[in-house]
Structure 1
Amino acid sequence: MSMADLVAAGAPELPPGYFYRVRPKSFGLLKVEIRRQGRWLSSCVEDVCIRPANYATAERAIVAACVQAVEWWGERQADAKALAEARAFTGDHDPKGGR
């Protein structure tokens, strides 16, 4: 199944340079990863484990996991942005206005 097939089935489209990887796990689980393609290797930026037996079809299970992974990835990016903005306030805050 290609990225276009996943998107046509309902999975969110990823930005350029990112792709989904589906891997088998133990105990009847599958792991769906969002990966960032580097020059030679890729790295996982988010992952979700699913049990395909809980869904009507395997395709629905994979699409649901893709949707969940994109949601979690978005939340993580928002958290990172909020943390970066809050770091601007780190340091001593002298009540007298000094350095």
Structure 2
Amino acid sequence: MSMAQLVAAGAPELPEGWFYRITTTGFGYPTVQIRQPGRWFGSREVSYAIVRSEEHENGDVAVIAACVKAWERLKEDEDYARKVREALTLRGDHDPRGGR
């Protein structure tokens, strides 16, 4: 199945150069990875989701659901990282007397 077919079936469209990889875990469970091109070569995983085939009527639907879950996980991780960066802008001592 191509990227265009995955998107047409309901998987979220990814940024330019990113792609889905369907693989297995070390225990043999099918997994969807969202991958981003590496800086010089290859690619790196930025999100993943295990394909839950028992929850869907067929494997194709289960893979699309895992693509959606991996995308949602990526957005949650980005939101968390943004909040951490915002909190770290307040790093330092906050003297209740106004400082010196």
**TM-score under structure 1 length normalisation:** 0.91
Match of 2:90 in 1: 89
**Secondary structure, in 3 states, of the residue corresponding to 1:93?**
coil
**Secondary structure, in 3 states, of the residue corresponding to 2:48?**
strand
2:17 pairs with 1:6: no
* Deviation at residue 21 of structure 1 after TM alignment: 0.4
**Secondary structure, in 3 states, of the residue corresponding to 1:45?**
strand
**Number of residue pairs aligned between Structure 1 and Structure 2:** 98
Match of 1:73 in 2: 74
**TM-score under structure 2 length normalisation:** 0.90
Match of 2:15 in 1: 15
Distance, in Å, in 1 between the alignment partners of 2:65 and 2:2 is: 16
Distance, in Å, in 2 between the alignment partners of 1:90 and 1:81 is: 15
Aligned-residue CA RMSD in angstroms? 1.3
* Deviation at residue 24 of structure 1 after TM alignment: 2.3
Distance, in Å, in 2 between the alignment partners of 1:92 and 1:17 is: 43
Question: What letter is aligned with 1:19?
Answer: F
Distance, in Å, in 1 between the alignment partners of 2:88 and 2:16 is: 29
Distance, in Å, in 2 between the alignment partners of 1:81 and 1:54 is: 33
* Deviation at residue 97 of structure 1 after TM alignment: 1.6
Tell me, which stretches of 5 or more residues in structure 2 are unaligned?
A: none
Distance, in Å, in 2 between the alignment partners of 1:81 and 1:53 is: 35
Match of 1:59 in 2: 60
Distance, in Å, in 2 between the alignment partners of 1:61 and 1:22 is: 12
